[in-house]
Structure 1
Amino acid sequence: MKINFINKFFLIIPALVLFSCHDDLDQDPIDPDSFTEADVFADETEAKSALAKLYASLALTGQEGPAGQADISGIDEGTSQYSRMLFSLNELTTDNAVVGWGDPGLPDLHAMSWGASNDFTTAMYYRLAQEVSFCNSFISNAQSLSSNEVDSFIAEARFLRAFAYYNLMDLYASVPLTTQVSTTLPEQNSREEIFSFVESELLEIETLLKESGTNEYGRVDRVAAWALLSKLYLNAEVWINEDRYTDAVTYSLLAINSSYSINTTDANGNGSAYDELFMADNNSNGAQNEFIFALNFDGNSSRTYGGTTFLVHASRGGSMDASAAGINGGWEGLRTTKALVNKFDYAVTNTEDGDPVEWADGRAMFYTDGQNLEINTISNTFTDGYAITKFTNIDSNGNAGSDEGGDFVDTDLPLIRVAEMYLNYTEAVLRGGAGGDLQTATSYINELRERAFGNNSGNISSADLSLDFIIDERARELYWEGQRRTDLIRFEEFTTSSYLWPFKGDAKAGTSVSDFRNLFPLPSNIILINTNLTQNPGY
């Protein structure tokens, strides 16, 4: 069984509650067996257990495992998991994915027709706001302890809070900025203020976090702060109308030159080192050396219907053999559009109709048998659109994950990896960032492509590097990793007519939509409760 920081503590962590500020509730418990705030922060060991809850809040959904005592109400518990909702908002809204299910609000995502009461946009806001609250509570209480180790715990909590605000700023723009647990209704802060907060927090904690590679697997170190700064600065022109590409180059390089490295290990000798990144033993097969920040999952001790369990099950259907993916059955939901498939322009085998079915690029992990390249209908037709086999519950030796029933998946999910830093560096250089050069950028891209092709047949020259190339290379390298919407917005392709994909804007051939769709709405019920908040335009 895979043991890591999160699942080791999951079964003994109490939920961090939002403590009342009323004096009449500030009393010792009558029951001597009660587990209280004082117990949670009694010492360094107990504080570490509480820290695990902050990580677990992004990976899991409640207090009982896959279902029961959910952290968030009003939506199916499995659906409410952070990375599953990130996929829904940042992948299903793009050319990378469609889903055939009819859950309320779900078809509206790819159709780009969501409203302020959409279940998914609402639940993501709550999930991230809850993470902020958990982090605020932890930081406040852990400050009563004094040790270097606890100081690093607090720095990690500050990183996770900054990460939550990074997401809130990306998805919703102007949101309340809260750093203390409070019962008063918060004011709304501008996107610029959120950006400044995230930036200042990451800069302050970079030396407080443990040095590169010295923290235990499942926890962040200072490289995560550098990497998140790289992402922040790359999007600064969109978010705050400032050119910060030189800073993006600087922090991409810091992450690249750390102890983390591109995985080049093909542990089973049958696939590629790229495959290893998304297998059940990616915490130990060499892939972990590329993961700067990842969500950890275990099929027995940290069960959820989100995370990679969702990605593996939902992407299997039709004539696919679910057991070959280490699971007991497919959910027949997720496929992709031909727009993504056609990004892989090194096809080596085509059907009689000319549709590609095999590729020289090993990142083209498509299942085509019985699948149509063209999508005629999204709903209830799994065979319309190629399926994707990128995520699997099989390890490098061909063994299924630890859950003998085949329900839950062991595969960890990278949120930030070194390959993204290569791509960030290259894009920032192409956009005019100082401190980098095209020759180095080309070498980084070719390192990724040599891993994908298994040789140098896909290598490019510096003359081939352009922004058009990079947006497509990001699609090839990072698809289904929660990045695509943010990338398309940065390249002015998300809502515009400059780039169309099947069923964009609910039109079979694709159509443009209004620019206000670059942001999601604040939840309508939040607007009703807190009159300090102003809804995003268009909603």
Structure 2
Amino acid sequence: MKIYIKLFLALCCSGAIISCSNDMDEKVFSKITDQTYDYTVKDFVPSVSSVYSYLRSFTDHWGYFSAQEVTADAIVMPPNASGWDDGGVYRRMHYQTWNSEQDHVKNIWSVFYEGALLCNKIIDQIETDVLPAPSDAEKTAGLAELRAMRAYYYWQICDNFGDAPLVTTTAMDLPAKNSRKEIYDFVVKELQEAIPSLSEESGSNYYGRMTKWAAKAVLANIYLNANVYVNETHWDECIQQCDDIINSNKFALSDNYKDPFRTAGVENSREVIFTIPFDENLAGGNSIFMFSWHGELKKKYETEATPWGCGSAMGVTQFIDTYNQKDSRLADSWLMGEQLAADGSKLYGTYDKMGDPLIYTKDLPDGNYTSEMEGYRMNKYEVAKGSQASSGTDVPLIRYAEVLMMKAECLLRSGKAGAGALVTQVRQRAFKNKPELATVTDAQLKENTSYQYGSVENYKIADRGNTDPVEFGRMYDELGWEFAWEMHRRRDAIRFGVYTKKSWLSHKPQGEYRAVFPIPEKVLTSNPNLDQNPSYK
């Protein structure tokens, strides 16, 4: 990893002089406090960079990852003989029976608001010259970057919680609830105003930062989901943001699907638009392989850390069955079949299948309990030899492929031609040996999904539940194949009308209100100005 990125990661971790506290009776154990510290221009970059640090919790199985993937229809985390029940927390995410005490709900609320409130604080410090900028130009750019990141965090709040407090100052008053529409309007306005002052560079010194193009991709995503958020359609506005990115000629699809997920050489990728940079020593957090893999895979990948038990995060059989077997993304995303050690020797089960060759099989009996070898596991993010429990592999949040797919979906939904050509462009690298299979037409993208929905008992669908066709279902399938493991699935499932209507594995619909999470109980009890989201008790 290049030196400037190491510096950026180190700055993201520094919180001694810029950390937030919600404790109004804060105890001071040092003579130097936030009020007495004398900021200099040397503190400017570390302060701005610090707001990205909260993204590194996104890949944790106790937070954002599970909220976006395990609650949807592609990935599940069932218990097994090595454990992975933890009081039923992951099963509740799969069943969509979480409540306001669920740790995942509390954790994502905290991460989003800590990020947004830290942005508020540093914006205030810069605007009041408490935190001096090296130059007027850097001050303008820094404020734009902070506003765009604050908008990003509030987009996540809007997306995950709906109505919620919108706090844009450093005042310590207990906030009231704002409507989802108010948060949506704020986010759109902030991004529109910040974008002209953001850097047009990509990669290099701006790797992992909110550039003009990253902000436009976020804005496109917000327009894409506006019908969910505020019952408005903004297909043309989404297309315009995508076209701006496409016509910049700064981005392109990587030659190989796996390239954006490598352990090294991604810093100058033309496909990665916005990412979470990880480093084993300076910026840990990427532990996806640890909660997906069997402990014996340490011998295959020669990691320093031993994956936890026999792992848990795995593919839902019904989703895996939607893949074309010639699609290279199947093997590039999912670990399947017999697993061998680095020296070619066999690996064996160590729990309920002790002594049996370690062979990952596709079919799951249900989402309640599996054997140690059932379920395809994570194979998307490369894990380097010698990796600790936190991998140094970066996790892209926005890729150029997503820009093409967002435009394609908006073309479909607005009745315009061209979606098939864009999706074909994305598919081509996944069918290098069968290029004729890469082609998809506009008409095909309008077809129903190939996903066989229904609740599963003893490996078979026992109750199909809702069987209504999914509008633009093939487009939904395409998004699943391209973005598996990338924490997109919940938002896509909601937009396509699947999330609260369909049954899969052991999940059955629990009500439309599950499209947003409840406000954490601790937040409600500490702030009488807030009330719970509708239908949550």
Could you say whether these structures have the same fold, taking a TM-score greater than 0.5 normalized by the shorter chain as the test? yes
CA distance in 2, matches of 1:335, 1:450: 26
Aligned residue identity for 1:376? P
Residue 444 (structure 1) aligned with residue 422 (structure 2)? yes
Residue of 332, 337, 346 corresponding to 1:368: 337
Residue 480 (structure 1) aligned with residue 485 (structure 2)? yes
Gaps of 5+ in 1: 61-79, 266-272, 349-357, 395-399, 505-510
* 1:173-230: CA deviation from partner (whole Å, max 9, x where unpaired): 0011111112111011000000000000000001011124275222121111111111
CA distance in 1, matches of 2:216, 2:531: 32
Q: Is contact 1:449–1:459 with CA below 8 Å preserved after alignment? A: yes
Gaps of 5+ in 2: 339-358, 447-471
Q: Is contact 1:40–1:50 with CA below 8 Å preserved after alignment? A: no
Corresponding residue of 1:294: 275
Q: Is contact 1:51–1:157 with CA below 8 Å preserved after alignment? A: yes
Residue 160 (structure 1) aligned with residue 149 (structure 2)? yes
Q: State the shift of 1:165 in Å.
A: 0.6
Q: Is contact 2:295–2:306 with CA below 8 Å preserved after alignment? A: no
Q: State the shift of 1:140 in Å.
A: 0.3
Corresponding residue of 1:464: 444
Q: State the shift of 1:472 in Å.
A: 0.3
Q: State the shift of 1:361 in Å.
A: 5.7
Residue 244 (structure 1) aligned with residue 237 (structure 2)? no
Aligned residue identity for 2:257? Y
Q: Is contact 1:363–1:476 with CA below 8 Å preserved after alignment? A: no
**3-state SS in 1 of match to 2:397:** strand
Residue of 118, 123, 126 corresponding to 2:110: 126
Corresponding residue of 1:496: 501
**1:52-63 to 2 correspondence within 5 Å?**
52-59=49-56
Calculate the TM-score normalised by the size of structure 2. Answer: 0.81
Q: State the shift of 1:449 in Å.
A: 0.8
Residue of 52, 69, 73 corresponding to 1:91: 69
Q: State the shift of 1:421 in Å.
A: 0.9
Corresponding residue of 1:340: 319
1:88 to 1:59, Cα distance in 2 relative to 1, 3 A: same
CA distance in 1, matches of 2:414, 2:34: 53
Corresponding residue of 2:301: 324
**1:91-240 to 2 correspondence within 5 Å?**
91-99=69-77, 100=79, 101-104=84-87, 105-143=89-127, 144=129, 145=132, 147-213=136-202, 215-240=205-230
Residue 9 (structure 1) aligned with residue 6 (structure 2)? no
Q: State the shift of 1:475 in Å.
A: 0.2
Q: Is contact 2:12–2:51 with CA below 8 Å preserved after alignment? A: no
1:20 to 1:327, Cα distance in 2 relative to 1, 3 A: closer
Q: State the shift of 1:245 in Å.
A: 0.9
CA distance in 2, matches of 1:243, 1:527: 32
* 1:43-71: CA deviation from partner (whole Å, max 9, x where unpaired): 1x3111111211112225xxxxxxxxxxx
1:527 to 1:361, Cα distance in 2 relative to 1, 3 A: closer
Q: Is contact 1:152–1:209 with CA below 8 Å preserved after alignment? A: yes
CA distance in 1, matches of 2:280, 2:290: 13
Residue 276 (structure 1) aligned with residue 265 (structure 2)? no
* 1:6-35: CA deviation from partner (whole Å, max 9, x where unpaired): 32324654252447999x99x9x984xx36
Q: State the shift of 1:282 in Å.
A: 4.7
CA distance in 2, matches of 1:87, 1:327: 24
**3-state SS in 1 of match to 2:206:** coil
Aligned residue identity for 1:449? R
Q: Is contact 1:297–1:409 with CA below 8 Å preserved after alignment? A: yes
CA distance in 1, matches of 2:387, 2:496: 44
* 1:238-257: CA deviation from partner (whole Å, max 9, x where unpaired): 11011111111111211222
Q: Is contact 2:59–2:65 with CA below 8 Å preserved after alignment? A: no
Residue-pair matches, total: 471
**3-state SS in 1 of match to 2:258:** helix
Corresponding residue of 2:344: none
**3-state SS in 2 of match to 1:281:** coil
Aligned residue identity for 2:177? Q
Corresponding residue of 1:391: 381
**3-state SS in 1 of match to 2:238:** helix
